[in-house]
Amino acid sequence: METCLLPANAEGVRRAAELLRAGEVVGIPTETVYGLAANAWDEEAVRRIFVAKGRPQDNPLIVHIADREMLYEVAARVPEQALALADAFWPGPLTIILPRGPKVADAVCAGLDTVGIRMPSHPAAQAVIRASGLPLAAPSANRSGAPSPTDAKTVWEDMQGRLPLILDGGECQVGVESTVVSLAGDVPMVLRPGYVTPEQMSQVLGCPVQVAGAVTRQLQAGETVRSPGMKYKHYAPKAEVTIVRGDRDTFARYVAAHPAEGLFCLCFAGDEAVLDVPCVHYGTEQDPAAQAHDLFSALRRLDELGAKTVYARCPEMEGVGLAVYNRLLRAAAFRVVEP
């Protein structure tokens, strides 16, 4: 298949909408990461996403919408809590899990009776949804397991020949996938952390928002994958990544005591002053939003540099930092040391 890379202008949006209505898969920008979009009503179209990514069929997808009318089409029931969160955070990087509507393709939900829904804020994503007239199922636009792409060039590198069109809408603003909160149970539950934090949602809802245990640990045997991003290993470069907890000096001592072939450090800007190995930065220590923005491009940079072993300095595990830690944890296949 020949893949076309077009700017996300009026002509690009028109062509994307045409392909989506014809049952094809299209790479589109969002404010979080780039996505592989297909008609959420069309079973065969959605299955083409899984083929393009090499994605396991038990991993559900998120449906992207452009207005409230689509919300009521995609969800079977929309509780007041969902409307409150939508008022506060949509359009934006928040996915709300609700009971699925009857029109949603089975492949979107991976056998579940729920569906994740969000309204992206990127103008190109909004334009494509509106032009197609369709809710769009869309996971990140990378080969399954690899770091998610935050620019069109990276999507091209991963997906050339696997889909007909990629729209270039520039660099993604957020850099990690949306927060996923489930409203399908007795209490609101974060299944995947992101830029919208549990604390922010709790203020809106006036009640505690819990964080699922699988955010910071492996899924247990037989535990259902209820959200994207819950699998064992995900977002991973080719190198073996180990997360090292502790301050800068503790990290430096660990690195010095554990030499390895092809060793690089994934660390914060300024950490290289106390390290004697090549470094790739992902933001600054005091800025979790910058860490989130830079993380996936930094992981891909490590592959470009030929890293074989990576020691990653651990971020703070609260607020947006929890999202960064969650992605790093899966990139490291849960290898964590605390010297």
Task: Give the model's pLDDT for residue 166.
Answer: 98
Q: Decide: residue 157, CB within 10 A, 0-12 exposed, 13-18 middle, 19+ buried.
A: middle
Task: Give the model's pLDDT for residue 147.
Answer: 93
Q: Which of 93-107, 163-177, 204-218 has the lowest mean pLDDT?
A: 204-218
Task: Give the model's pLDDT for residue 144.
Answer: 82
Tens digits of residue pLDDT in 246-258 = 999 999 999 999 9
Task: Give the model's pLDDT for residue 248.
Answer: 97
Q: Can you tell me the mean pLDDT for 40-65?
A: 92
Q: Per the structure, how many domains does the chain have?
A: 2
For residue 300, being part of any structural domain is answered with yes
Place of tokens 């952390």: 193
Tens digits of residue pLDDT in 92-148 = 999 999 999 999 999 999 989 999 999 999 999 999 999 999 999 999 999 887 899
What residue numbers bound the domain in which 282 lies?
A: 240-337
Q: Is the pLDDT of residue 273 over 90?
A: yes
Please indicate, yes or no, whether residues 128 and 266 belong to a single structural domain of this protein: no
Measured CA to CA, the distance from residue 260 to residue 26 in angstroms comes to 41
Identify which has the larger pLDDT, 134 or 216: 134
C-alpha distance from residue 13 to each of 7, 21, 136 (Å): 9, 12, 14
pTM for the whole thing? 0.95
Q: Which of 127, 150, 175 is the last residue of a domain?
A: 175
What share of the chain in percent tops pLDDT 90? 88
Please indicate, yes or no, whether residues 21 and 136 belong to a single structural domain of this protein: yes
Q: Can you tell me the mean pLDDT for 159-172?
A: 97
Using alpha carbons, select from 103, 113, 112, 163 the residue that is nearest to residue 135: 103
What share of the chain in percent tops pLDDT 70? 96
Please indicate, yes or no, whether residues 262 and 126 belong to a single structural domain of this protein: no
Please indicate, yes or no, whether residues 123 and 27 belong to a single structural domain of this protein: yes
Which CATH number does the domain housing residue 27 bear? 3.90.870.10
Q: Can you tell me the mean pLDDT for 156-184?
A: 97
Q: Which of 124, 149, 175 is the last residue of a domain?
A: 175
For residue 125, being part of any structural domain is answered with yes
- For residue 202, name the pLDDT band (cuts at 50, 70, 90): very high
Q: Which of 137, 159, 175 is the last residue of a domain?
A: 175
Place of tokens 């296949």: 333
Q: Is the pLDDT of residue 228 over 80?
A: no
Which CATH number does the domain housing residue 294 bear? 3.40.50.11030
Please indicate, yes or no, whether residues 67 and 159 belong to a single structural domain of this protein: yes
